[in-house]
Amino acid sequence: MAGGADRLRTGSADEGGAARPPRLLAGGRRWTFALLVAVGFGQAASAIAWAWLVGRIAGGLGGGTAAGGGGAALLDALLAPLPLQAPAPVPDPAPPVLAWLVALVSSAAALLYAERVLAERLGQSWVADVRTSLFRRVITSPARTAGRGRSTGGTSLRMMGNLSALRRWATLGLAKVAVAVPLLAGCLVAFALIDPSVALAAGATTACGLGATAALAPWLRSAHRAARRRQARVAAHVVERVGAPQVVQAFGRERGERRVLTRRSRKLADAQVRRARAVGAARAIGEATTLLATAAVLVAVGAAGQGAGAAAVAVAIVGVMVTPLRELTRISEYRSACAVAMRQVRAELARPRRRLPGRTAPALPKGRGELVLEGVRINGVLAPVTARVPAGAVVAVTGRNGSGKSTLLSVIAGLVPPDGGRVLLDGADIATHRTESVRAAIGLAGPHLPLMRGTIADNVRYADPKADARRLHEAVRASGLDELLAELPDGLRTPVRESGAGLSAGQQQRVALARALLPGPRLLLLDEADAHLDARAAEVVDRVIAGFSGTVIVVAHRPERLRSADVVWRLDRGLLREEPGGPDAAG
């Protein structure tokens, strides 16, 4: 329910610093919470009216209001303005009593309905904002840190588990507090109208029960944290092994992996049982509290010398009080799980974030693709590099594995901010210009940019969803993808599974090239574009480079690729050495 401005405010921080999680009670959610409180007061009024109505019925059955004792008299005095309180005895009180009974039942049902809808709206709105903040942080992480130290299964489970815990706290925790506190207050008022000692007995028992469950909070948090950690480990193991069964089979690790999973599953089961003990203790205290409160109320009614009518009223109020009391005793359970989840959410939001130019930044000026590196360095990876590539040139980057070739391309693409120096494209620093114009000017393809689930058309258009049919056709033709589509029955509608599964390496490469070419870039960066490709697929890359009108920088190891380049950049131990390309280029 929070407005757009509120979402930006509550889930943001400085561009590079840690973002704050969206607040639960922010923006429109404050009004939702206020409506829940109003529902609670409405239920409190219904509880008092219900107690009065039961007193009237019990008094009638007992031969008069005297059967209700002093409590019925006080309730009569409180509710005297109501139409049911007739100024004079009526011969047949059943019709008005029945009418009020129907009215109370209808209002109680309506209030319960409103409570459920408002509570769910509160929780879903908060979870949606938190999910958006987490997603935004993940997709804006620098390329060097994105995914580092993370397991896909563990991360997915943590995100889903965290959001589920947050929703439960908002829907079943805080929302219940908003409703249950006014409702319990109304019940205590009704008890006080019977006799102050009854209200005191009910209030003291309730306070003791809630205090006991609150004391279990550290145990609950510890148990939740341990169980969530074990869940993440099991999920990470299963997802990784299920995603690579050939590796498991190739090395004969089937039994070993089953043993690992069995051991981790056993530890998870133990952690879940420990959490069940903590949750069970909290719920047991809650159930005991409701029973003790009922007994305390009945004992207090008897000790106060009230009659059967007052006892009937007290039982009716206890029946109303039991549900909110039981829900309040579970608050510690939901709050502890939320605290564990929020700790992990804050850790995710504290991860580094790319500094992006603001919306008021200028667009890149038009040009033909001249590239200049001015003292570009990456600490521990790349020494300061100064180089110039004229528009339309082809540069081949080579070097040993781990020498920083892919990192250099990521810096040139603007995906990794350099620790020093500038990258200039047609005289403009890409770090200070609008991101959309930079992305349109620089095309990038490589194994670290896999295809996504969808169709071939979806993957090609991902670079520019607004591209028209003409531009799509040009990208398909320039990448040689049209030859592949002619062999596929569904053409552009051919389904693509996660990470390009279902397509061969050569087919994936053609789709990736078409995606990189779709925006019409002036600088094309190809990272290991022809690695692991057969001769036919490698020829496609050759044609793309030869037909590209802008500047090309390609990471390559094949001698023929180096000889076809205008310039060769050789990386070794963080140093870049520039060599001439052509027929004399060394392999």
Q: Which residue has the tokens 């950690």?
A: 229
Q: Which of 56-70, 254-268, 459-473, 525-539 comes out lowest in average pLDDT?
A: 56-70
pLDDT in tens, 209-268: 888 888 888 898 899 888 888 887 888 778 777 777 777 777 778 888 888 889 989 999
| pLDDT at position 510 over 70 | yes
Which residues 6+ apart lie within 8 Å of 103 measured at CB?
A: none
Question: In the prediction, which pLDDT does 121 show?
Answer: 94
Instruction: Decide: 371 and 551 in contact? Cβ < 8 Å.
Output: yes
Q: Which of 41-45, 46-50, 57-61, 193-197 comes out lowest in average pLDDT?
A: 57-61
Q: What is the mean pLDDT of residues 483-499?
A: 85
Confidence bin at 77 (pLDDT 50/70/90): very low
Instruction: Decide: 347 and 155 in contact? Cβ < 8 Å.
Output: no
Which residues 6+ apart lie within 8 Å of 113 measured at CB?
A: none
User: What tokens does 299 get?
Assistant: 């004992």
User: What tokens does 88 get?
Assistant: 């004079």
Question: In the prediction, which pLDDT does 34 show?
Answer: 94
User: What tokens does 553 get?
Assistant: 């920088």
Dist CA 493 CA 484 (whole Å)? 12
Residue whose C-alpha is closest to residue 540's, from 505, 566, 500: 505
Question: In the prediction, which pLDDT does 531 show?
Answer: 64
Confidence bin at 61 (pLDDT 50/70/90): very low
Question: In the prediction, which pLDDT does 144 show?
Answer: 58
Q: From the CB of residue 83, how many other CB atoms can be counted at a distance below 10 Å? A: 8
DSSP string spanning 100-119?
HHHHHHHHHHHHHHHHHHHH
Question: In the prediction, which pLDDT does 232 show?
Answer: 79
3-class state of residue 373 by DSSP: strand
The three state secondary structure string of 25-47 is CCCHHHHHHHHHHHHHHHHHHHH
pLDDT in tens, 94-118: 457 677 778 888 888 899 899 999 9
Question: In the prediction, which pLDDT does 45 show?
Answer: 87
Instruction: Decide: 341 and 161 in contact? Cβ < 8 Å.
Output: yes
Q: What is the mean pLDDT of residues 339-364?
A: 82
Residue with more model confidence, 158 or 302: 302
Question: In the prediction, which pLDDT does 156 show?
Answer: 65
Q: How far is CA 102 from CA 105, 116, 227, in A?
A: 5, 21, 47
Angle at 454 between CA 448 and CA 455, to 5 degrees: 100
Mean pLDDT for the chain overall: 81
Residue with more model confidence, 495 or 144: 495
Dist CA 156 CA 242 (whole Å)? 15
Q: What is the mean pLDDT of residues 1-26?
A: 54
Which residues 6+ apart lie within 8 Å of 263 measured at CB?
A: none
Dist CA 573 CA 579 (whole Å)? 16
Q: What is the mean pLDDT of residues 369-375?
A: 92
DSSP string spanning 493-507?
G-EE-GGGTTS-HHH
Question: In the prediction, which pLDDT does 539 show?
Answer: 79
Pairing of strands 551-555, 523-527: parallel
Q: From the CB of residue 307, how many other CB atoms can be counted at a distance below 10 Å? A: 18
Q: Which residue has the tokens 């850790």?
A: 347
Instruction: Decide: 153 and 240 in contact? Cβ < 8 Å.
Output: yes
Q: Which of 157-161, 444-448, 464-468 comes out lowest in average pLDDT?
A: 157-161
Question: In the prediction, which pLDDT does 533 show?
Answer: 64
